[in-house]
Amino acid sequence: MKKFFTGTLFALCLVAAVEVQAQSQSKIGYISSQELVSVMPETKKADSSLQDLRNALVQSATEKQNGFYAAVEKYNKDSATYSAAVKTVKRNELTKMGQELSGEEERIQQQLQQRQQELLGPINKKAYEAVQAVAKENGYGYVLEKEALLVAPPGDDILPLVAKKLNIKLPAAGGAPGAAPKPATKP
- What are the structural domains, with CATH classification, of the chain? 26-165 (3.30.910.20)
Per-residue pLDDT of the chain (187 residues; tens, 9 = 90+): 455 444 444 444 444 444 444 444 588 999 999 999 999 999 999 999 999 999 999 999 999 999 999 999 998 998 888 889 988 998 999 999 988 888 888 999 999 999 999 999 999 999 999 999 999 999 999 999 988 877 777 788 899 999 999 989 888 764 444 444 444 333 3
* Global model pTM greater than 0.85: no
Q: What does the DSSP assignment read for 12-66?
A: HHHHHHHHHHHHHS-EEEEE-HHHHHHHSHHHHHHHHHHHHHHHHHHHHHHHHHH
